[in-house]
Structure 1
Amino acid sequence: MKKSLHSLTGIALLIVIWTIIDFIINKGIIVPDPIETIGVLITNLFSKEILIAILQTTWKVLLALWLSILVGWCFGLIIGQSASLYLVARPFLMTIQAVPVVSWLSFVIFFWGFGWKGPVFIAFLSLLPVSIFTTLSGLRNLDQRLIEMARVYRVPRSRVLKDIYLGSLFPFMISILEVSIGQAWKVILVAEYLCGDSGLGAKILDARMAINTTQVWALSIIAILLGVISEYLIRFELEKVAFKWTIG
């Protein structure tokens, strides 16, 4: 109850600050009226065109997120078995992490042109190093005594993988999601804006080209809300899975 009250207070404070800035600047082309923007936002939520754009962006975010986690886990588990492999792979991962999004944008436009592949590919590459490094951190925190005990008692490899490796890495997976979900939304939206042909990012571009600032702000708020809601839902589902895993 207190958390909800604090959140509502924070939202109300943001609207008050927004209203004050709008009053001071008094230029709707820069900062639109809050009430008008909220009205446009509500209208968008009942627009078939915008709802389709939301779904298009959402599936790209989820695809990039799960691909980065799956590939990150697999590579992390392989690299984590050998210090030499880690030393070989680290420069490549650091390079991928250091490359700016705009460079990947140039590459995908030349390679694929405009479409859904570019945003997913860019988001995947942006999230992959985080996923791999977090998996490696989880491996370093494994209790080696448990692994040794499993060897002594000849515990099946499937049980060792499920109960020791994956069980120990599960909290790190939640950590990856918490760090990556917001980043995934931002990268996908930017990529849609610059090299996409569908989704919320493309709709924001259309609104900007039409000099419709109110629509730009309304769509941006929708994107923020989707990021927050998706993070909460994913975390909630993972906690349920973790609970079933523990009692199972």
Structure 2
Amino acid sequence: MSRPLIGVTTYVSPASWGVWHDAPAELVPRRYSALVRAGGGLAAMLPPDEHPDAAADVVARLDGLVIAGGPDVAPARYGEAEGPHTQPPTADSLARDAWELALIHAAVDQRVPLLGICRGMQLLNVALGGTLTQHLPDLLGGSEEHSPELGRYGCHTVAAVEGTRTAAILGTEKLDVPTYHHQSVAALGQGLRVSAHSSDGIVEAVESADTAPDAPFLLAVQWHPEQGDDPRLAQALVAAAQR
């Protein structure tokens, strides 16, 4: 059986190589493609397109889709003003928002399996009409476990909700996960259900509320599975893509 083609979203950032310094590049950490390969898939990088209406054609050529982590989603996307701790949107981040939202809608419409990671979960929730908590420390009185300091991943436990697809993949025992985020799901998007929590009650995974046997694979986690050594989420995505 041929390996499914899994698209992984990327972003624009200055980079340096050879004699070139601070040149615009289309990037994503290598661990994302490694995660796809560990799950049994082939990774295809999807840089932001200045024409988001091309997303439907792109998704039609894929067997599955990963929406990668990254900067804060522009609050205007979910009808809020920018908070004091929210990263100010840039032209590149706004273009990424538009492109990834279009990819998500195309994947949902075409029933293409989708896995969201960190920002990818937040953007999936926003795409389906949900909102975000813009700064977890305001909610928790601190969030060192979720995002301990700039440039360093934290680690905390999550537990999947019994009876969910997430639980079928990961079990319901507490699981230590790598994490780096200061925002989280607030109001849940339409057609989603919460499928995992952290020990302090933060939503750590969401999935499609459709429980039919032929329901499409639509699952997103707040943590960073690509930073660990557990390929089960990627394996589940690839298995759904093969079907």
Q: Give the TM-score taking structure 1 as reference length.
A: 0.22
Choose between structure 1 and 2: higher strand proportion: 2
Q: Looking at both structures, which has the greater relative contact order when contacts are Cα pairs under 8 Å and sequence separation is at least 6?
A: 1
Greater C-alpha Rg: 1
